[in-house]
Structures are given as C-alpha cells and as structure tokens.
C-alpha cells in the first residue's frame, strides 16, 4: 500500500516548495559529516524541533537504507508494528519500503508483527522523512512503531535490528562485526520531557541523555522509570542503542538540546528536544 502523509500542513509545510524551504532553514551547511550507526532525533512540529533535527541530519553521511523506530502515540495496531510493503509519501516525494530487509526483521523476532494500521495516522516517523529527503534523493526504509516498551521487548527488538543489518550486509557469514553495517542508519524518533518547566525538563533530560551518551540502554530504561521522565520514545531509543552496541558502537555525541519555549516563549510548560549521534 501507499501511505499518504498524515500530518502534512500541520507538523510541517504541506507543499514541496514550502517544505524544502522550511527544512533548509534548519540545515547547518558547514557541518562536518560523519558515518553513524544510529541517531536520536525529535518528532514535534518542525517549527519547534526542526533546529535539533536539522543539526543532526546535517552532520550525517547518509546511507541508502534507514530503519526508523518510533513510539506509537495512536494506540492503533500491533504492539510492535512493521510496515513491510509499499511506500510512504511526503510533499518531497515517495520513499519505498525495503521489503527484503523488513522480511529479515520479521524473521528475527516473534514480537514484531507486519501491520500497517499503526502507521497510518502516526507522526513520529513521518516527520523524519523530509530531512532525509532534503539530503538524499534515493533511499529506502523500514518503519517500525512501538507500543510495547517493556525492557525485554526493547532489547529483543534492538538485537533483531542488529541481526537483520548484519545479515543484510553479509557479516554474519564471517562471524564478525563489519563496519559496512553503517550502510543502514537506525533512527530512534523521540522528544524528551513533556510539559515541565524548562529548568525541570532540562534537569530530567540530562539524566536520560547521560545514559544515551554512555550507550547504556538498560540504564536509560531504569533512569526513565526512576525519575518519571516523560520521554515518549524511550523504547525506540533503548532499541536503537542496543542495536548500535551489537554493531560495535564506540561513542555517542550530543549534537543539540533545546525546548519548545525557545519558540513559543512559554518556559513554564515545555517539551524538550535532543539530537544525538551514535557511531
């Protein structure tokens, strides 16, 4: 099936020209490019979180394939939903789903279900695409939505993603971790604290960011629960970190942190946004 945009004209500009200009306003032209295994990128309306997403994507030497993992805000579909066939549209064009890679992922974990319902009205992955499309004309993707965020589920999904990437790149046959696995980028889509005073949000978010920079998926999960941090995509972040560790990640770097108050002027109830690169 072809998935049509759910939030065009709401979370981002609804025309190709308008969207391209909007994304371009967030791009950092002189940013030094790196090859990454995974990233954390926000998914709010671009007017709020675009500076963070733009800073992250500006830093990337983008591959040809992306595995996008986001939280399920709608409550629709399977607990772990993968759209394994078809394509997604945005005003900037059509992106094909990598059906072969999706099939490998489905074979790696019984928790992952082929399901399109979870994706139809969900925004968390859709808002990543305009940034990728701005920099990359031809690429494919595998979209995954998470409603089940139990630790064991997050870890299993992360391991399944790593296994699928290794299988795709042929490194499993060699029994070694291959730097070619970087030819697939794992995108964890998440905003940080929701509707806290800016100072409190920053304090809480720094605790979560510290665990991500330490590349500690279980530590991130425990920290979210212990401090009541309303990071909506912690499940995708835990899965992404798990996969990156399996693929040989050695560092994680915070690119940018901000909050919605910088745009709205309301610092009493902000949403935090962090952009992180794992390589």
Helix (H, G, I), strand (E, B) or coil at 270: strand
> Which pLDDT value is given to residue 222?
98
d(CA 152, CA 50): 32
User: What pLDDT, in 10s, does the model give residues 232-270?
Assistant: 999 999 999 999 999 999 999 999 999 999 999 999 999
Which contiguous run of DSSP H or E holds residue 171?
none
Residue numbers of the chain with a pLDDT score lower than 70: 171-182
Helix (H, G, I), strand (E, B) or coil at 70: strand
Residue 208: give the domain boundaries.
Answer: 2-278
User: What pLDDT, in 10s, does the model give residues 9-44?
Assistant: 999 999 999 999 999 999 999 999 999 999 999 999
> Which pLDDT value is given to residue 169?
82
> Which pLDDT value is given to residue 135?
97
End-to-end CA distance of the chain: 33
Helix (H, G, I), strand (E, B) or coil at 55: helix
d(CA 205, CA 230): 9
d(CA 274, CA 266): 18
CATH code at position 251:
3.40.830.10
> Which pLDDT value is given to residue 174?
52
d(CA 79, CA 72): 9
- Number of structural domains, the chain? 1
d(CA 3, CA 276): 28
């Amino acid at each position: 099936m072809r998935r049509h945009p759910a939030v065009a004209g709401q979370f981002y500009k609804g025309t190709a020209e308008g969207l391209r200009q909007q994304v371009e306003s967030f791009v950092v032209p002189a940013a030094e490019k790196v090859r990454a295994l995974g990233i954390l990128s926000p998914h709010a309306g671009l007017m709020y979180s675009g500076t963070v997403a733009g800073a992250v994507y500006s830093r990337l030497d983008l591959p040809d394939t992306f595995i996008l993992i986001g939280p399920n805000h709608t409550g629709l579909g399977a607990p772990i939903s993968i759209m394994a066939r078809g394509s997604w549209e945005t005003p900037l064009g059509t992106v094909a789903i990598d059906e072969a890679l999706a099939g490998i992922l489905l074979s790696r974990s019984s928790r992952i279900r082929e399901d399109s319902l979870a994706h139809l009205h969900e925004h968390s992955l859709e808002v990543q695409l305009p940034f990728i499309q701005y920099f990359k004309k031809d690429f494919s993707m595998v979209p995954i939505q998470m409603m089940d965020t139990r630790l064991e589920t997050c870890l299993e999904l992360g391991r399944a993603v790593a296994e699928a990437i290794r299988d795709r790149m042929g490194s499993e046959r060699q029994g070694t971790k291959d730097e070619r696995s970087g030819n697939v980028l794992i995108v964890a889509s998440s905003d940080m604290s929701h509707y806290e005073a800016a100072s409190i949000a920053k304090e809480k978010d720094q605790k979560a960011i510290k665990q991500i920079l330490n590349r500690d998926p279980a530590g991130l999960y425990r920290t979210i629960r212990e401090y009541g941090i309303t990071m909506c995509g912690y499940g995708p972040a835990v899965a992404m970190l798990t996969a990156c560790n399996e693929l040989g990640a050695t560092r994680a770097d915070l690119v940018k942190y901000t909050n919605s108050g910088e745009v709205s002027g309301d610092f009493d109830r902000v949403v935090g946004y962090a952009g992180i690169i794992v390589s």
